[in-house]
Structure 1
Amino acid sequence: MKNTGILLVLFTFTIFTNAQNQNNVEDHQVQLGLPMPAILYEKALGRNTTATMEFVTGFGLRGCSGCDTDFGIYPVLRGQLRYYYNMDRRLDKGKNISGNSGNYIAILLAYQDKNPLIGNLMLSESVLGVGPVYGLQRTYRRGFFYRLEGGVGYSQTQDDGGFALLLAARVGWAFGKRR
């Protein structure tokens, strides 16, 4: 009985260890983005699935002839649940998947506050957006990455709601141990 228990523990440990190594996505990574400053943390949840939290700054500018020009830099918080659907195909073709280089579909939740961090352009309302997005992300050897994503979702302010385009483009550097 004692040997059976030891074998069961070893078998379970082996399966757990192999399951951890079979992920196509990185266990975790941090990205610093541009052109507007952004920081993103991405954590593996499964073989091809990750969760992300991103703090981004958004920019607004308003001006006209005969009036003052106002600007604002706003905080934006974004969360995503991503499924990278082409990782196995990329591996079969000998392509890079390090830094989660692949195409994904995701559910996006984004919140932009109406109060600027810097500047004097006050938005009339904060905005909450949610919806599906399609994206692609490529990370290169020294950590440089780019990401493009887009979709159609629903946005809500205090007084109004409706369909909205959910678009994002980012370049920057990814940090963390990569494949």
Structure 2
Amino acid sequence: MKTNFILAALAMLSFNAFGQSDEAAQTTELVSLTKLEAGLHGIGVGYEVPFSSKWSVNLSAGLGGGYAIEKNSYANGFNSTFILNEPVAYLRSEFKYTYNRDKRIEKSKSTLHNAGNYVAFQTKYTTSRVFGRSDWNWVEEPLNKTLLNEVHWGMQRPLGQRFISNLHLGLGYATDFDFGNSQLYPAVGLQFAYVISKSSRL
């Protein structure tokens, strides 16, 4: 009888220790993430690094869809085109403020891989076509050198232990350096990422 009581007490202590370990794993501290990214913007490599408990910057580069802002008798507006065999190169920086990780912990929701809701300012530069002819006088769908600045609200969520989903909505302002035009645009982004490595904040 005494043996059973001791075993039961040890089991309860062990269970409590595991529970505390799981709770400790849930933290509001952001971590650095190296990722392979794929989404509406294209495919590339990203590095997300925090510089405070709520602020981080996500830097990425890769290949994807291109843009052109045409304002003439044939076309008028902001055009986005993704031609698989004729992608453009892009460089992107995103400054993020993640604001609800403490509430996620209170509700027993995961904070893995910097999960949370955020607001962000993003700058993205795209080149003309990397492969094939880029001269817009010779192509049906021009893909020009373009700078996009946008403010958006988003959600970052873990998908298992290695994957991340990311959705954002906002408003942006694009400048087409080849055509010399600029325009506001609705910003929508959907991305999935595979975490190659992660580390604690410096």
Question: What TM-score range do you get, normalising by the shorter chain?
Answer: 0.7 to 0.9
Contact 2:146 2:175 in 1 (8 A): yes
Supply the AA of the counterpart residue of 2:34: V
Secondary structure, in 3 states, of the residue corresponding to 1:47?
A: coil
Counterpart CA distance in 2 for 1:59 and 1:50 is 25
In the alignment, does 2:38 pair up with 1:34?
Answer: yes
Supply the AA of the counterpart residue of 1:50: S
Superposed counterparts of 1:83-94, under 5 Å: 83-94=97-108
Q: Which residue of 2 aligns with 1:118?
A: 131
Supply the AA of the counterpart residue of 1:24: E
C-alpha deviations, 1:131-165, integer Å up to 9, x for none?
21111111234211111112111111121111012
Contact 2:28 2:101 in 1 (8 A): no
Which of 125, 147, 154 lines up with 1:128 in the alignment? 147
C-alpha deviations, 1:94-137, integer Å up to 9, x for none?
111110111110000011111x2234465353110112111111
Q: CA deviation at 1:55?
A: 1.0
Of 50-59 and 72-81, more deviation after overlay is shown by: 50-59
Which of 156, 159, 175 lines up with 2:196 in the alignment? 175
Q: CA deviation at 1:38?
A: 1.4
Of 158-167 and 39-48, more deviation after overlay is shown by: 158-167
Secondary structure, in 3 states, of the residue corresponding to 1:99?
A: helix
Counterpart CA distance in 2 for 1:120 and 1:71 is 12
Q: Return 5+ residue gaps in structure 1 as ranges.
A: 1-21, 61-68
CA spacing shift, 1:70–1:29, aligned 2, 3 Å: closer
Q: Return 5+ residue gaps in structure 2 as ranges.
A: 1-26, 67-82, 136-141
Aligned residues: 148
What percentage of aligned pairs have identical amino acids? Answer: 21
Counterpart CA distance in 2 for 1:172 and 1:81 is 18
Q: TM-score, normalised by structure 2?
A: 0.66
